[in-house]
Chains A and B, each alone.
Chain A
Amino acid sequence: MKLIWKYVRPYRRFILAVMVIKLIGTGTDLLLPYVLEHLLDHVIPAASDAWPVIAWGAVMLGLTLLTRILNITANRMSVRVAKNSTYAIRRDLFHTALNLSGSQMDKVGLPSLISRMTSDTYNVQSFVRMIQTMGIRAPIMLLGGIAITLTMDTGLAMILCIMAPVMIVLVCFVSWKGIPLYNEVQRRMDVLVRRMRESITGIRVVRALNKESYEENRFGEANTRMARQEVKASVIMSLPGPIVTLFLNVGLTLVVLVGARRVNDGQTAPGVILAFLTYFNMILMGVMGLNRIFMMMSRANASANRIGEVIDLPEELTPLPANRCAEVPGDEALIFDHVSFNYDADSPKELHGQFLGEERRQCLKDISFRVPKGGSLGIIGATGSGKTTIINLLMRFYDPQQGHVFVDGRDVRSYTRDELHRKFGVVFQNDVVFADTIRENIVFGRPVTEEGMVSAAQDAMAHGFIQNTPDAYEHKAAIRGANFSGGQKQRLLVSRALAASPEILILDDASSALDYRTDAELRRAIRKHHGEATTVVIAQRVSSILSLDEIIVLHEGEMIGRGTHAQLMETCPEYRDICLTQMKEGE
Chain B
Amino acid sequence: MARDTVMKKPKDTRGALRRMLRYLGPWKYVILGVAVLCLISNLLNLWGPSLAGSAIREAAAGPGKVNFDAVKHDALLMLVCYVSSALLGFGISLVMTVVSRRVARRMRQDVFEKLMRLPVGYFDRHQAGDIISRVSYDIDVISTSMATDIVQILTSLVTVVGSLVMMTLISLPLSALTLVTVPVSVVYTVFMRRKTQPRYAKRSRSYGVMNGFVEEMLSGQKTIQAYAYEDRVDERFDTINRNAADAFSDAEHYGVTLGPTMTAINNLGLSLIALLGGILFLNGQIDLGRISSFVLYSRKFAGPINAVAEVFNELFSALAAAERVFTLLDEPEETADVEGAYLLENVRGEVNVEHVAFGYDPGRTILHNLTLEAPAGKLVAIVGPTGAGKTTIINLLMRFYDPDSGVIRIDGRDIRTSVRRSVRGSYAMVLQDTWVFQGTIFENIAYGKENATMEEVVAAAKAARIHPFIMRLPQGYDTVISEDGGNISKGQKQLLTIARAMLYDAPMLILDEATSNVDTATEREIQKAMRELMKQKTCFVIAHRLSTIENADMIIVLKDGDVVEQGTHRSLMDQKGFYHRLYAAQFE
Contact = CB atoms under 8 A, between A and B. Distances in A.
B226 A122 contact: no
Most buried by B among A50, A227, A265, A430: A227
B425 A259 contact: no
26 contacts: A40-B277, A40-B295, A44-B277, A45-B288, A53-B278, A79-B248, A102-B222, A109-B485, A115-B136, A194-B438, A199-B116, A216-B116, A227-B101, A235-B97, A241-B90, A249-B48, A256-B75, A257-B75, A259-B59, A359-B472, A359-B473, A444-B229, A485-B390, A515-B385, A516-B582, A543-B586
Contact of B260 (A68, A201, A470): A68
A239 to B, nearest CB: 7
A212 to B, nearest CB: 4
B292 A209 contact: no
A197 interface: yes
A10 interface: no
A94 B216 CA distance: 12
A98 B232 CA distance: 11
A86 interface: yes
Interface residues of B, number: 191
A125 interface: yes
B517 A383 contact: yes
B135 A435 contact: no
Given A102-B486, A356-B482, A53 B279 contact: yes
A175 to B, nearest CB: 16
A383 B489 contact: yes
Given A94-B234, A264-B63, A266-B63, A417 B228 contact: yes
Given A238-B90, A581-B547, 9 more contacts: A72-B256, A86-B248, A87-B245, A105-B221, A204-B120, A242-B89, A249-B85, A422-B228, A446-B227
Contacts of A381: 519
B330 interface: no
Contacts, number: 550
Interface string B94-121: 1001100110110011001101110010
Contact of B223 (A84, A432, A515): A432
A483 B360 CA distance: 8
A435 B216 contact: yes
B260 A67 contact: yes
Q: Which of B74, B126, B260, B581 has the most CB of A within 10 A?
A: B260
A94 B218 CA distance: 9
A211 B469 contact: no
Contact of A98 (B98, B224, B481): B224
B160 interface: no
A513 B432 contact: yes
Contact of A245 (B86, B97, B279, B435): B86
Interface stretch (A217-225, A333-341, A404-412, A562-570): A217-225
B335 interface: no
B565 to A, nearest CB: 14
B368 to A, nearest CB: 15
A114 B218 contact: yes
With a 10 A CB-CB cut-off, give which of B278, B490, B516 has the most chain A CB atoms: B278
B112 A509 contact: no
B98 A424 contact: no
Contacts of B433: 204, 486
Contacts of B483: 198, 201
Contact of B547 (A202, A204, A582): A582
A581 B524 CA distance: 8
Contacts of B79: 250, 253
A65 B261 CA distance: 9
A369 interface: no
A359 B474 contact: yes
Contacts of B400: 204, 207
A484 B361 CA distance: 12
B94 A238 contact: yes
Interface in A488-544: 488, 490-491, 496, 509, 512-520, 540-543
Given A114-B132, A242-B87, A356-B481, A40 B291 contact: yes
A208 B486 contact: no
A352 interface: no
If over half of A's interface residues share one DSSP class (helix, strand or loop), that class is named, otherwise mixed; here it is helix
A484 B389 CA distance: 10
Nearest to B473: A359
A421 B226 contact: yes
A271 to B, nearest CB: 9
B480 interface: yes
B547 A585 contact: yes
A71 B214 CA distance: 36
B166 interface: no
Contact of B447 (A75, A86, A94, A211): A211
Interface stretch (A143-151, A158-166, A318-326, A474-482): A474-482
* Smallest CB-CB A-B distances: 10 pairs: A487-B386, A383-B491, A357-B487, A445-B232, A516-B586, A75-B256, A482-B124, A266-B63, A53-B278, A432-B220
Contacts of A260: 55, 58-59, 66, 68, 71
B492 interface: yes
A311 interface: no
A426 B386 contact: no
B21 interface: no
Given A119-B137, A360-B487, A200 B448 contact: no
B485 A517 contact: no
B384 A515 contact: yes
A514 B424 CA distance: 27
Contacts of B405: none
B228 A418 contact: yes
Contacts of B339: none
Contact of B248 (A83, A422, A586): A83
A156 interface: no
Nearest to B248: A83
A47 B90 contact: no
Interface in B233-288: 233-234, 237-238, 241-242, 244-246, 248-249, 252-253, 256-257, 259-261, 263-264, 267-268, 270-272, 274-275, 277-279, 281-282, 288
Contact of A509 (B57, B132, B218, B517): B517
A118 B116 contact: no
A219 B112 contact: yes
Nearest to A381: B519
Nearest to A133: B256
Contacts of B488: 359-360, 384
Contact of B59 (A264, A360, A488): A264
Contact of A491 (B282, B364, B386): B386
Contacts of B427: 208
B129 interface: yes
Contacts of B237: 91, 94
A397 interface: yes
A212 B116 contact: yes
Interface string B303-338: 000000000000000000000000000000000000
A414 to B, nearest CB: 17
B78 A256 contact: yes
B230 A245 contact: no
B475 interface: yes
Given A76-B253, A219-B109, A208 B218 contact: no
Contacts of A39: 274, 278
A227 B97 CA distance: 10
Interface in B528-552: 544-547, 550
B56 interface: yes
